[in-house]
Amino acid sequence: NAGVTQTPKFRVLKTGQSMTLLCAQDMNHEYMYWYRQDPGMGLRLIHYSVGEGTTAKGEVPDGYNVSRLKKQNFLLGLESAAPSQTSVYFCASSYLRTDTQYFGPGTRLTVL
Amino acid sequence: KNEVEQSPQNLTAQEGEFITINCSYSVGISALHWLQQHPGGGIVSLFMLSSGKKKHGRLIATINIQEKHSSLHITASHPRDSAVYICAVYHGSQGNLIFGKGTKLSVKP
Q: Is A90 left (phi over 0), alpha (psi -120 to 50) or beta?
A: beta
Are B101 and A45 a contacting pair at CB < 8 A? no
pLDDT in tens, B44-103: 999 999 999 999 999 999 999 999 999 999 999 999 999 999 999 987 655 788 999 999
The answer to whether the CB of A79 falls within 8 A of the CB of A93 is: no
CA separation for the pair A32, B66 (Å, rounded): 31
Query: Which pLDDT belongs to residue A33?
Result: 97
Alpha helices in chain A (DSSP H): none
% residues pLDDT > 70 (chain A): 99
Q: Is A87 on the interface with B (CB under 8 A)?
A: no
Query: Which pLDDT belongs to residue B94?
Result: 56
Check whether A73 has a pLDDT greater than 80: yes
> Model confidence at A2, in pLDDT bands (50, 70, 90)?
confident
Q: Is B57 on the interface with A (CB under 8 A)?
A: no
Low-confidence winner among A42-56, A82-96, B93-107 (lowest mean pLDDT): B93-107
β-pair partners for A35: A45, A90
Chain A contact set for B86 (CB, 8 A): 42-43
Q: Which among A41, A100, A106 has CB closest to B45?
A: A100
Q: Is A39 on the interface with B (CB under 8 A)?
A: no
Interface probe for B, chosen from A100, A102, A109 (most Cβ of B below 10 Å), is: A100
Query: Which pLDDT belongs to residue B1?
Result: 58
CA separation for the pair A91, A82 (Å, rounded): 20
CA separation for the pair A27, A101 (Å, rounded): 11
Query: Which pLDDT belongs to residue B29?
Result: 81
Query: Which pLDDT belongs to residue B21?
Result: 98
Query: Which pLDDT belongs to residue A79?
Result: 92
Check whether B24 has a pLDDT greater than 70: yes
Are A45 and B88 a contacting pair at CB < 8 A? no
Residue A43 to chain B, least CA–CA distance (Å): 6
Residue B95 to chain A, least CA–CA distance (Å): 8
Nearest to B16, CA basis, from B63, B66, B78 = B78
pLDDT in tens, B33-56: 999 999 888 999 999 999 999 999
Query: Which pLDDT belongs to residue B105?
Result: 97
